[in-house]
Amino acid sequence: MIGKILLSGVLISFLSLFVRKKFNYFRWILFSIYTLLTLFFVYIWKNDFYFSENYKILSLYGLNFSLNFKITPLGWLFSFFTTLLTFLISIFSIQKNQEEESEKIISFFWFYLIISNIGIFFASDFLTLFVFWELMTFSSYFVISPGWMKSFRAVNYYFVLSTIGAFFMLLGIGFLYAGTKEFSIETGYLYLFTLFSKNPLLAVLITLTFILGFFTKSALIPFHIWPAQAHAEAPDDFSAFLSGIMIKYGLFGNLLFLVPLFLLIKEYPATQIITNKIPLFSHILAWVGAITSVVATFLAIESNDMKKLAAYSTVANIGYATTAMFTLSSYGIAGGIFQIVTHAIFKTAIFLSLAAVKYRTHEREMHKLGGLAYKMPVTFLTFLLGIIAAAGIPPLNGYASKWMIYQSLLAYRFPFLTVMIFLSSTGAFMYLFRALHSIFLGQLPEKFDDIKEVPILMQIPMYILMGLMLLTGVYPGIVLKPINSVLQFYNLQPLKLTYTTMFSTLSSVDSLKVFLTFAGSFAFAFILYLLGKPRKHVQPLDNYTAGQDPKEFGLTRELYHFALKFYEPFEHMFDSYRTDTKEFYDSFERKVNEIGKFLKETLSGNIRNSVYIFIFGLVIIILYGWLVW
Amino acid sequence: MNYNPSVLLIAIPVLSSFLSLIFGIYNKLLSKIILVITVLFNLIFGVFLYNLISKNGNILAVIGNYFPPFGINLSITYFSISLLLLLYLIFFVSSLIFVVKKDERADKISSLLLLYLASFSGILTTGDLFNMFVFIEIFSIANITLISLKGNGLSTKGSLKYLIITSIGASLFLFGTGFLYGILGTLNLAEISLNFDKISYFSKIFIFLFFLGSIMAELEVFPFNFWISDSYSGSKNFVNILLSGLSSMVALYIFVRLFITIFGLPAFTTISYSLPFNVKFLLPTIFGLSVIVNELAALSSKNVKRILGFSSASSLSLILLSISTGQKDGIISATLIGISVILSKPLLFLSSHQIMKGIKEKNIDSFVNGFQRNPFFSILFIIGVFTLIGFPLTPSFYGKFLLFILATEKASYITLITIVVIFSITIELFYYFRLIHKLFVPSETKFNFEKTKKNFVYILSGLLLTLIIIFFSIKPYFTQNIVEKITDDVFDKSGYIKSCLKSGEK
Amino acid sequence: MQIDNRTLYIFSFIIFLIGVYGAITNRNLFKILISLSIMETALNIFLVSLGYISGSKPPILSSGMKTISPANINISDPLPHALVLTAIVIGVGTTAVGVGLAIKLFNHYKTLNINRMGDKDEL
C-alpha cells in the first residue's frame, strides 16, 4: 500500500503538469486531494504497527537494492502530523498560488516532497532512507527556488549544506554496511554499539558522520544559518512546510538511529564515558541543542525580516527538542517528540499567517508593516495564538511540551541545560512580542488603508490550525498517547497520563483545569467589559497623538510606528560576542572560488604555461618512480 | 577464433576517407554520404562482430598469414568490441550533426572524420604495440585538426596545446615501445604480456613511467589537462561531442588495456605482482587530485562548454580512480560510470548547444529562460545531468554506490582519497544544479532568437541517446551482464594471451 | 670506428633532452615546433640503435649467403628500421599540422611569440 501511494504520487505529479496555467487551481486541488488521500491512508495505518512492506527491486553487483517500509510508532506519529499539516498548507496554497509565477514547478516538485516525506518516515533500512532523503534534497531545491534569482543564493546555502550532510550520512551507511553486510537500521546500531568496544576510533567516526548528516538537516550549530536564508526566500506557503515539516527530518534521524544507540550505551555503559548517567556523546549533543536555541534566539531578536525571525525561532525550538531527546530519559524523549509535534503545528500557523500578510501587503520587512490587526482579524488571531503557543503560555500546546521538557531536565538533574533553555525561552517572548507589535499592532501605514482579510480558502486552514493548537494544548493526551507507544518501541517506561493530565516525577498538571481557569478569567473580564459604560471607538492614531492631526507637525502614521531597530540597546550589549557564521561560510565559498579561478586561469593560460605544467608533471612522476625505486 | 574480415573495421574507413576527398571534388554531398554510409557500415559490422565474440570468444585477425607473435594482427575481445559499439554510436551522432551543417570544407572534414573513425577503431582492435602508436598518432592528428576547425584564436591555441602535449606524449610512448622491443624482441601485445615478468625491475619502472606519462595527456588528468580548457570552448559542437564522449574514452581504453591486461598493474594485488614497486599510492593520488582540480576549475568557469569540458575531465578521473582501487568492484564501477559518461556527456553538449542557440555569449547566463525557449532540449539536459551525477537506476548510480561501498569496506589510503573525491563531487552537483536552475529563471530582457530550424537531427540524436540511457537504466540485469563480462575480459590476461598465441599456455 | 649501443642510447637521450630544453625555453612558436622535431629525431636514433648490433652488417642478403642462421651471420635487426620509417612519416605529418596551426595563429595574433598570444580576453 505504501508503494502504491508513492507511485500514485509520481503519476499525479505528471498529470498535474498538463493543467493549463489559466486553470492552475485545478493543479493545486489535485495536490490537496493527493495529500488528503495520503493522510487518509496514514490514519488507517494507525492499527497496523510493525506492518512491513518490502519491494525487492534488484539484486545487482552483489548488492541487494530493495525498498523496505515498516510502520513504526515513531514513523507513524511523524508522518501523521506532517501529512495533516501538509494538507492544511495545501488548502492554503490553492488560493495563494493563483498568481504565483512558476507555480507549476513548485507543485510538481512538492509532490515529490510528500512522497519522500512518507518514504523517509516509513523507511526500514538505510538505503530506502537515503534514497528518499536525496529525493527530498533535490526536489526541495526547485521548490525553494523555482527559477527565482532572488532565492538563488539562499537555496545554495541550503543545498550545499544538505548535500554535504547527506554525503556524510552515506559515508556512515557505507561503514556500517562494511561491518554488517546489510542496510538494516537496527543491525546498524547494534553493530555500532559492539564496535565501541572493539574499535572505538572508527565507532566514534561513524557516529560523527551520522551526527553531521542529521544535524545539517535540522540546522543545529554550526549549520544554523540556512533556515534563515532558505525559509525566508522560499515561496511563502512553502516556508510553512519547510519550517513545520522538513526541518524535522534531521530530528527524526536522531530518534531513529542515534537515540537507540545511546540508549544501548546508557544501559550497558562499559564502553563509553558516562556523565550524569548518560553517555558523554549524548550529553555533548544535548548541549549543542541548548546552545543552538540560545544563539538562534539572539539572532531572532536581531532580525527585522519577519520570515527570518520565524525561521530563527524554528531553530531555537529545534534546539529544545534536541536537548530534551538527548537526555535519554523517557520524559525527555517524550518531551522532545511532543515539542516537535507542537512546534510543527504552531510554526505552520505562524508561517501561514505571515504568508497571508505577505499575500496582501507584499512586504517582509517588519518596520514597513503595522496595525494590520483590525484589517486582517483572522490572520491576527492565528498569529496571536501561534506566538502564545511558541512562547509556551498556557493553555496552548507550546506550554504542554515545554512543561514536559523542563520537568525532564530538572528531574534528571541537568540544571545548566535548564537555565539555557529557560534563557532562550524567555528570549522568545522578546522577539515574538516584537513581531506581534510590528506587524499587527501599532500604526497602519497609509498605503495599507484599503487592505482586506485574505480569501476564505486561506482562512479555513488558519481556523483549523487555531483549533489544533488549542486542542493539543488542552488535551495533550492526544499526542502523548501515541508517544507512549513510541517509548514502548524504545523499551522505555511509558508515561503516566490521562487525556488532560500530564504527570512527571516531580509534579503533575491538568491542562483542562488550566484552560478552564484561563477561560474563566477571560469570561470574567468580558463580562466586566459588557457591564461597564459604553465606550467610544478611537482610532489608534488618536491614541498616539492625543487627538491632534499629525500632519500639522509634518508627521505621518509610519513615523509613529516604532518597529525598526526595536532592540538596538539590547543588541549593543552583545556586540563583542558576535561571530558571524554566515560570513564564515561566505568566506569559505570565496576561497573555493578563488582556488578554482586560479586553477582555471593557470590551466587555460598561454601555451608557455602549458609546456611548463606538462614538464613539471612529468618530472614529478619520474621523481616519484625514482624515489620509490 | 580467426576471423580476418574484421580488418574491414579499419580498412573501409581509411578507403572511404580517400574516396570522400576524391568525390568531394565533384560534389560535397557525396562525401557526406560516404561518411554516413561508412559509419553505418562500421556500426552494423560491429554489431555482427559483437554477436560473433559473444558466441565464440575473442577474435584474432591475422594479416598476411604471419601468425602472432610475428607480423601485424588484430585481436578483438569483448571489452574492445562493446566499447567500440558505444563509441560508434557517439560517432554516428556526431557525424549526423556535422552532415546537416553547411560547410565549405565538407569533403575535407568528412575525410578527417573518417580518418578519426579508422584510427580509433584501430586503437581498440590492434594487437600490436607499434601499430597502436601509429593509430594514436593518426588519432591525435585528426583530433588536433578537428579542434582547430573553428579557426578562431581560441580553437587554434587549444589545438596547438594539444599538439605539443600529444607529440611529447607520443614520443614517450615510442620510447616505451622501443624499450620493450629492445628487451623482449617483440611488439605483439600477447607476447609482451606473456614475457613481461621476465623483465628486470629497473626496466619495468622505466616502461611504466614512459607509458603512464604518454597517456596522461589524453586522459585529461591533472596536471596534463590544460588543453581541455581551450579545446572544448573553442571547438564546434560535433567536435565537443567527439572530445568528451570519445577521445578520452579511447585513451581510457589504452590505459586499461596496457596496464591491466598486458602489464598487470601491481595495484591490482589480486591479479598480478609483475610491477613490484608501489603504485598503490601514486595513481589514486594523481587521479584524486585531478578530480578535485577539475571540479574546482569547472566551478569557477562561466563558459558553459568549458564547464562541461572540465566536468568531463573530472568524471574521467573518477573512473580512473575507481580503476586504481585495484579491485574487481572498482573496475565494475568504472565501467558503469564510463557508460553513463559516454552517453550523457554528448547529450549535455548537444542539448546545451541547442538551448544556447541564437544567443551570442555562451556563458551560463545564456541558459536563462531556456525552458521556455526550448523545453525539449532542457528536459534532455536535465536527463543528462541526472545520468551523470548518478540518479537512482542510472548506471552511474550503481557505479558510484559500488565505489563508495568499496572505499568504506576497509579503512585505508584509498578510502581517504575516495572520500575526499566524492566530497568534491558535491561541487559538481552544485554547478549542475546552478545550470538547471538558470533554465527556469524567466528572462528580464526578451532575447531575439529565431525558431531554430534544421534541428531535426539534434532532436533525433538527442532522443537516441536518451532512449539508450533509459534502456540501460530500466534493464539493469542486461547492463549488469555486459558490465561483468567486460570486467572479466579486462582481467583475463591468460585468455587474451591464449586467443592470440597458439602456444600461449605456460 | 665501432660505436657501442649504449653510446647511441645516451646520445639519443641527450638529443631528446635538448629538444625538451628547447620546448621549454623558446618563446618563438616555430622554435618550439622545431624542438618537438628534435625530440622525434632523438627517438628515431634510439629506435634505429635498438636494432643495431655492434660490428654487424646491414640486413641484406649478399651473394655469398645461401641461408640465414643466427650462428654464422652478424646482421642488424631490420624491424626497427621499418618502424623508424613509419615514425618519420608520422613525425612529418605532425610537424606539418603544427606549422599549419602556427601560421594560423600568426595570422590571428600577428606574432609568433607565445607570450603575446592573448589569454585573458577569451576566458
Residue C2 to residue B190: CA distance in whole angstroms? 36
Q: Test C98 with B160 for CB contact under 8 angstroms.
A: yes
Separation in Å, CA of A107 to nearest CA in chain B: 14
Asked if A612 has any chain C CB less than 8 Å from its own CB, the reply is yes
Residues of A in contact with C114 (CB under 8 A): 606-608
Residues of B in contact with C36 (CB under 8 A): 164, 167-168
pLDDT bin (cut points 50, 70, 90) of residue B41 is: very high
Residue A578 to residue A565: CA distance in whole angstroms? 17
Beta pairing class for A278-279 and A274-275: antiparallel
Question: How far from A541 is each of A131, A368, A453, B225, CA to CA, in Å?
Answer: 57, 16, 21, 71
Residue A324 to residue A326: CA distance in whole angstroms? 6
Q: Test A592 with B161 for CB contact under 8 angstroms.
A: no
**Residues ≥6 apart with Cβ < 8 Å to B369:** B439, B441, B442, B443, B447
Q: Return the higher-pLDDT residue of C54 and B65.
A: B65
* Out of A596, A613, A618, closest to residue B299 by CB: A596
Residues of C in contact with A600 (CB under 8 A): 123
Query: Do A518 and A470 meet the contact criterion of CB atoms below 8 Å apart?
Result: no
List C residues 14-43 in contact with A (Cβ-Cβ < 8 A): 20, 23-24, 27, 29, 32
The alpha carbon torsion through A363, A367, A370, A376 (nearest 10 deg) reads: 30
- The neighbour count for residue A492, using CB atoms within 10 Å, is 18
Can you tell me which residue has the cell 557517439? B90
Q: Test A629 with B164 for CB contact under 8 angstroms.
A: no
Q: Test A142 with B165 for CB contact under 8 angstroms.
A: no
- The neighbour count for residue A589, using CB atoms within 10 Å, is 15
Q: Test C43 with B178 for CB contact under 8 angstroms.
A: yes
Query: Do A336 and A322 meet the contact criterion of CB atoms below 8 Å apart?
Result: yes
Averaged pLDDT score across all residues of chain C = 79
- The neighbour count for residue B478, using CB atoms within 10 Å, is 11
Pull the grid cell for residue A84. 495533516
> Of B266, C24, B408, C93, nearest to A179 (Cα)?
B408
Pull the grid cell for residue A515. 484552560
What residue of C is the nearest CA neighbor of A610? C24
Residues of B in contact with A101 (CB under 8 A): 442
pLDDT of res. B265: 57
Q: Test B164 with C32 for CB contact under 8 angstroms.
A: yes
pLDDT of res. C73: 65
Could you tell me which chains touch chain C, where touching means 3 or more CB pairs under 8 A? A, B
* Out of A601, A605, A612, closest to residue C24 by CB: A612
- The dihedral through the CA atoms of C91, C92, C98, C99 has a sign that is positive
Asked if C16 has any chain B CB less than 8 Å from its own CB, the reply is yes
pLDDT of res. C62: 66
Residues of C in contact with A606 (CB under 8 A): 114-115, 117, 119
User: What b/e readout covers A217-245, taking b as 16+ CB neighbours within 10 angstroms?
Assistant: bbbbbbbbbbbbbbbbbbbbbbbbbbbbb
pLDDT of res. A574: 76
* Out of C40, C50, C80, closest to residue B171 by CB: C40
pTM, full prediction: 0.88
Can you tell me which residue has the cell 612558436? C29
Q: Test A611 with C23 for CB contact under 8 angstroms.
A: yes
The DSSP call for residue C78 is S
Q: Test A606 with C119 for CB contact under 8 angstroms.
A: yes
Q: Test B178 with C46 for CB contact under 8 angstroms.
A: yes
Separation in Å, CA of A614 to nearest CA in chain B: 6
- The neighbour count for residue A572, using CB atoms within 10 Å, is 9
- pLDDT at A150 exceeding the cut of 70: yes
Separation in Å, CA of B134 to nearest CA in chain C: 8
User: How many residues make up chain A in this entry?
Assistant: 629
* Out of C42, C87, C104, closest to residue B156 by CB: C104
Q: Test A608 with C27 for CB contact under 8 angstroms.
A: yes
Pull the grid cell for residue B374. 526550448
Helices A415-440 and A280-302, axial angle in degrees (round to 10): 20
Residues of C in contact with B175 (CB under 8 A): 43, 46
The DSSP call for residue B60 is E
Query: Do A335 and A410 meet the contact criterion of CB atoms below 8 Å apart?
Result: no
Query: Do B279 and B289 meet the contact criterion of CB atoms below 8 Å apart?
Result: no
Residues of A in contact with B430 (CB under 8 A): 156, 159-160, 163
User: How many residues make up chain B in this entry?
Assistant: 506
- pLDDT at A119 exceeding the cut of 80: yes
Q: What is the pLDDT of residues B148-185, one digit of tens each?
A: 888 777 788 888 888 888 888 888 888 888 888 888 88
- pLDDT at A543 exceeding the cut of 80: no
What residue of A is the nearest CA neighbor of B424? A164
Asked if C47 has any chain B CB less than 8 Å from its own CB, the reply is yes
Q: What is the pLDDT of residues B276-313, one digit of tens each?
A: 445 567 777 888 888 888 888 888 888 888 888 888 88
Residue B78 to residue B76: CA distance in whole angstroms? 7
> Of A483, A491, A494, A496, nearest to A73 (Cα)?
A483
Q: Test B430 with A156 for CB contact under 8 angstroms.
A: yes
pLDDT bin (cut points 50, 70, 90) of residue B119 is: very high
* Out of A601, A608, A611, closest to residue C123 by CB: A601
Residues of C in contact with B130 (CB under 8 A): 83, 86
Chain B positions contacting chain C at CB under 8 Å are 130, 133-134, 137-138, 140-141, 144-145, 148, 151-154, 156-157, 159-160, 163-164, 167-168, 170-171, 174-175, 178, 181-182, 187, 230, 303
Can you tell me which residue has the cell 554499539? A193
Backbone angles phi, psi at B74, to 5 degrees: -105, 140
SS3 of residue B499 by DSSP: helix
Residue A477 to residue A501: CA distance in whole angstroms? 7
Residue A536 to residue A526: CA distance in whole angstroms? 17
Q: Test B153 with C101 for CB contact under 8 angstroms.
A: no
Residue B410 to residue B415: CA distance in whole angstroms? 7
pLDDT bin (cut points 50, 70, 90) of residue C107 is: confident
The DSSP call for residue A273 is -
Q: Test A622 with B160 for CB contact under 8 angstroms.
A: no
Asked if A33 has any chain C CB less than 8 Å from its own CB, the reply is no
pLDDT of res. A194: 86
What residue of C is the nearest CA neighbor of A606? C119
pLDDT bin (cut points 50, 70, 90) of residue A607 is: low
Can you tell me which residue has the cell 572505499? B407
Backbone angles phi, psi at B458, to 5 degrees: -60, -45
Q: Test C114 with A605 for CB contact under 8 angstroms.
A: no
The ipTM (two decimal places) reads: 0.87
List C residues 91-120 in contact with B (Cβ-Cβ < 8 A): 93-94, 97-98, 101-102, 104-105, 108-109, 117-118
What residue of C is the nearest CA neighbor of B149? C101
Q: What is the pLDDT of residues B122-140, one digit of tens each?
A: 999 988 888 889 899 899 8
Averaged pLDDT score across all residues of chain A = 84
Q: What is the pLDDT of residues C29-87, one digit of tens each?
A: 888 889 888 988 888 888 888 877 766 777 776 666 666 666 556 777 778 888 888 88
Residue A420 to residue A418: CA distance in whole angstroms? 5
pLDDT of res. B453: 60
Percent of chain B with pLDDT strictly greater than 90: 7
User: What b/e readout covers B203-218, taking b as 16+ CB neighbours within 10 angstroms?
Assistant: ebbbbbbbbbbbbbbb
Q: Where are the alpha helices (DSSP H) in C1-123?
A: 5-25, 29-51, 79-109
Q: How buried is residue A393: exposed, middle or buried, by Cβ count under 10 Å (0-12/13-18/19+)?
A: middle
Residue B345 to residue B232: CA distance in whole angstroms? 12
- The neighbour count for residue A575, using CB atoms within 10 Å, is 7
- The dihedral through the CA atoms of A30, A468, A254, A79 has a sign that is negative
Residue A213 to residue A167: CA distance in whole angstroms? 7
- pLDDT at C116 exceeding the cut of 60: yes
Q: Test B223 with A58 for CB contact under 8 angstroms.
A: no
Residue A222: cis peptide before it, omega within 30 degrees of 0: yes
Separation in Å, CA of C73 to nearest CA in chain B: 18
Asked if C90 has any chain B CB less than 8 Å from its own CB, the reply is yes
Averaged pLDDT score across all residues of chain B = 82
- pLDDT at B263 exceeding the cut of 80: no
> Of A274, A264, A256, nearest to A218 (Cα)?
A256
Separation in Å, CA of B329 to nearest CA in chain A: 8
SS3 of residue B277 by DSSP: coil
Pull the grid cell for residue A492. 522505555
Secondary structure E strands in A313-466: none
Query: Do A360 and A370 meet the contact criterion of CB atoms below 8 Å apart?
Result: no
- pLDDT at B479 exceeding the cut of 70: yes
Query: Do A481 and A46 meet the contact criterion of CB atoms below 8 Å apart?
Result: no
Asked if A601 has any chain C CB less than 8 Å from its own CB, the reply is yes
Pull the grid cell for residue A266. 546508557
Query: What does the angle CA B452 – CA B458 – CA B460 come to, to the nearest 5 degrees?
Result: 125
Question: How far from A568 is each of A372, A423, A573, A575, CA to CA, in Å?
Answer: 24, 19, 9, 11
* Out of B205, B229, B402, closest to residue A629 by CB: B205
Residues of C in contact with A607 (CB under 8 A): 29, 32, 114, 117
- pLDDT at B414 exceeding the cut of 50: yes
- pLDDT at B448 exceeding the cut of 60: no
